[in-house]
A and B are shown apart, each in its own frame.
Chain A
Amino acid sequence: METIQTDVAIVGAGGAGLRAAIALAEADPGLSITLLSKVYPMRSHTCAAEGGAAGVIKPDDSLDQHFSDTVGGGDWLCDQDAVELFINEAPRELTRLEHWGCPWSRETDGSVAVRPFGGMKIKRTWFAADKSGFHILHTLFQTSLKYPAIKRLDEVFTTDLIVVDGKVQGCCAIEMRTGQMIQVQAKAVILCSGGGGRMFPFTTNGAIKTGDGMAMAYRAGVPLKDMEFVQYHPTGLPSTGILLTEGCRGEGGVLRNKDGYRYLQDYGMGPESPLGEPVLKTMELGPRDRLSQAFWHEQQKGNTIQTQWGDCVYLDLRHLGEAKINERLPFVRDLAKSYSGVDMVTDMVPIRPVVHYMMGGIHTDITAATPLPGLFAAGECACVSINGANRLGSNSLTELLVFGRRAAESAVAYIKDSGVSVDGAAANREATAVEARIRALFDRPEGDETTAGLRQEMFDTMEGGAGIYRDEASLTATTAKLAELRQRWQTLSVRDKSAVFNTDVMQVLELGAMLDLAETVASSALERKESRGSHQRLDHTERDDTRYLKHSMASYRGETAPPAIDYLDVTITKSQPGVRDYSGAKS
């Protein structure tokens, strides 16, 4: 087995991973950095983010306002010290990206432009038309090419962390092009491996978002925090789940039911704002959880449109006019035209809520460190938590930058302070065991189970039992089903026995990761007997701060056992839980 020795290994080369890599290279040019990714960096799913990144820069805005929007948006489940840090750092990070060449959209005077976003009381979302994530990713990737210290291992699928004496000492990975196992021995590992939205059938997430890194940390004993909080984006295309950015509503787009009625006003987000004059933090600029839940209620009332891909409502942008749509939303216009056959200049686009983002993830503290020494995490795979029970749109792109950098700084400090060294022999033993486990997948007898079959059953149970609205019965059924699927996964065989670019084995491993994570989602949701943010229980409809103003912590208990669910207090610094008000009332 090939062995690579490095100071810091980063798993995942999306926005957070690249930001961390650059921060490491800048912190100490003598540091050796290994950046592993199962795809080429520019394929990472950061590229699909459209709307923008939030950061206070304009004179009419304030850090306090961004803080209260974020904490209220997260239904007070955010750790407020983390939110403060995040908001203070945000403008610097976005400016740095500007200096690196990110093509942010501009005002006529040449300053960076900002657009309105859901749940934000003031316009503060920096954007690059409607391809903000794409430009952020490519700017970071291209800038990373400046630093020879960053050694990339592209198309290398990380399967396990190497843990020796309770410390992370590297990771094991399959090099896709050879099928060979490699061990990367590292003093510290930073996970930036993204979320796992692919456990649901309708998602904006790309095929690669299977939560491998989260599962890796989970199996290594790190708790997964707040996994029950899964964000549905209110405006996805029905057939494919393709994202139509919240920027559509930021620019003035409105939602209508089958009668053309702007139904959000019936769900605490009224009064109706004038067409083409969006009012911040109300109606279509309410938060994502509320909008997706309003859709569900409209569906119950029979106010949705039946399409061949299920129930939909309309996103109406016609009043914006062609010029503005072309300037601000050219990509989504093309997406809607190509994939749904609708030109948003002349017609309303049928849309439905789709799974978009996981608020939960690997438990980290404010320094991006996990409880496992030597392991750090940032981006969607991590839960700091700044997003609480519902992330506000445009906070996550900024989160990649702020906490990607912070994870790097913490890793450097960890290496220097603790004088940690890698126990090569012990690491090698661990890696050899991992290799044997992967080899064993090929030796499983070929049975009836298929990856696609198990995956479909996972889709059905997640959509049916752990969707926008949940209850005791649906969640109990889902947890039972997932336990069964995890059992059956143990007998799933790899049919393709060849070495080079074996995507069959990759899919088997990805499915294993998703099943583990899905179970933490369902189990955490079952235990949280309240409704908060994106977690809505039909049998516990109110928020219960007495019992559940807490983070849920799901811990691994073995290959077939369900997770143990524990709770951790939320850090509150200055904002006591209150009422989330999106009625447009002046506050």
Chain B
Amino acid sequence: MSRKPFVRPVPATTWYMRNGRYLRYMAREVSSLFIGLYMAGLAMGLMRLAQGPDAWNAYLTALSSPLALVFHVLAFAFATYHATTWFNATPKAMRIRWGDGYVPGPTVVRAHYALWGLVSLVILVLVGVI
């Protein structure tokens, strides 16, 4: 047999370095790590709140440390990236009939942003910031 197909190996750990498209995807996936850590921090806060005013105050102090601030800025950036990439991807999965076609993709994306804004507004009103 004269055939000898050549298989080009795909690097198992660095495959996403091959192009920008994969890197952006990895960034989206990694963003969930920051969101997870942020949630863990939040859960810890609730725990401290249940433990009494001292614990709660210590928690608040810890939150204002430079390290915590840096983390929150990062987490916020990643959360925003996560939300934007997912919102932009939603029209692919959500096809809503509109006459003889579908609601246009950009409209679906905009609706997500609008909903996000609305929910944020309600929360801000509820917690009394506005």
**Contact present between A and B (CB < 8 A):** yes
Q: Which residues on A are within 8 Å of B, measured CB to CB? A: 177-180, 499-500
Flag whether B8 is at the interface (Cβ < 8 A): no
Chain B residues in 8 Å Cβ range of A500: 2-4
Name B1-42 residues within 8 Å CB distance of A: 1-4
Q: Which residues on B are within 8 Å of A, measured CB to CB? A: 1-4
Chain B residues in 8 Å Cβ range of A499: 2
Chain B residues in 8 Å Cβ range of A178: 1-3
Min Cβ gap B1→A in Å is 7
Min Cβ gap A400→B in Å is 32
Q: A178 to B1: give the CA distance in the assembly, Å.
A: 7
Chain B residues in 8 Å Cβ range of A180: 2
Q: A177 to B2: give the CA distance in the assembly, Å.
A: 9
Provide a sorted-by-A list of 10 A–B residue pairs whose CB atoms are within 8 angstroms. Answer: A177-B3, A178-B1, A178-B2, A178-B3, A179-B2, A180-B2, A499-B2, A500-B2, A500-B3, A500-B4
Chain A residues in 8 Å Cβ range of B4: 500
Q: Which secondary structure dominates where chain A touches chain B?
A: loop
Min Cβ gap B108→A in Å is 21
Q: For residue A177, which residue of chain B has the nearest CB?
A: B3
A-B CB contacts (within 8 Å), total count: 10
Chain A residues in 8 Å Cβ range of B2: 178-180, 499-500
Q: A500 to B5: give the CA distance in the assembly, Å.
A: 10
Q: For residue B4, which residue of chain A has the nearest CB?
A: A500
Q: Which of B1, B3, B4 has the most CB of A within 10 A?
A: B3
Min Cβ gap B118→A in Å is 35
Min Cβ gap B7→A in Å is 15
Q: A500 to B4: give the CA distance in the assembly, Å.
A: 9
Q: A180 to B2: give the CA distance in the assembly, Å.
A: 9
Min Cβ gap A331→B in Å is 19
Chain A residues in 8 Å Cβ range of B3: 177-178, 500
Q: A180 to B1: give the CA distance in the assembly, Å.
A: 9
Q: A499 to B3: give the CA distance in the assembly, Å.
A: 9
Q: A499 to B1: give the CA distance in the assembly, Å.
A: 10
Q: For residue A498, which residue of chain B has the nearest CB?
A: B2
Min Cβ gap B99→A in Å is 12
Q: A178 to B3: give the CA distance in the assembly, Å.
A: 6
Chain B residues in 8 Å Cβ range of A179: 2
Min Cβ gap A571→B in Å is 48
Q: A230 to B75: give the CA distance in the assembly, Å.
A: 69
Q: For residue B100, which residue of chain A has the nearest CB?
A: A108
Chain A residues in 8 Å Cβ range of B1: 178
Q: A500 to B2: give the CA distance in the assembly, Å.
A: 7
Q: A177 to B4: give the CA distance in the assembly, Å.
A: 10
Min Cβ gap A325→B in Å is 17
Q: A450 to B27: give the CA distance in the assembly, Å.
A: 53
Min Cβ gap A182→B in Å is 14
Min Cβ gap A420→B in Å is 34
Q: A385 to B123: give the CA distance in the assembly, Å.
A: 77
Identify the 7 closest CB pairs spanning chains A and B, nearest first.
Answer: A499-B2, A500-B2, A178-B2, A178-B3, A500-B3, A177-B3, A179-B2
Min Cβ gap A105→B in Å is 13
Q: A180 to B3: give the CA distance in the assembly, Å.
A: 11
Q: A180 to B4: give the CA distance in the assembly, Å.
A: 14
Chain B residues in 8 Å Cβ range of A177: 3
Min Cβ gap A177→B in Å is 6
Min Cβ gap B122→A in Å is 41
Min Cβ gap B41→A in Å is 51
Q: 8 extra interchain contacts, Cβ-Cβ under 8 A, other than A500-B2, A500-B4?
A: A177-B3, A178-B1, A178-B2, A178-B3, A179-B2, A180-B2, A499-B2, A500-B3
Q: A179 to B1: give the CA distance in the assembly, Å.
A: 10
Min Cβ gap B125→A in Å is 45
Min Cβ gap B85→A in Å is 29
Min Cβ gap A449→B in Å is 27
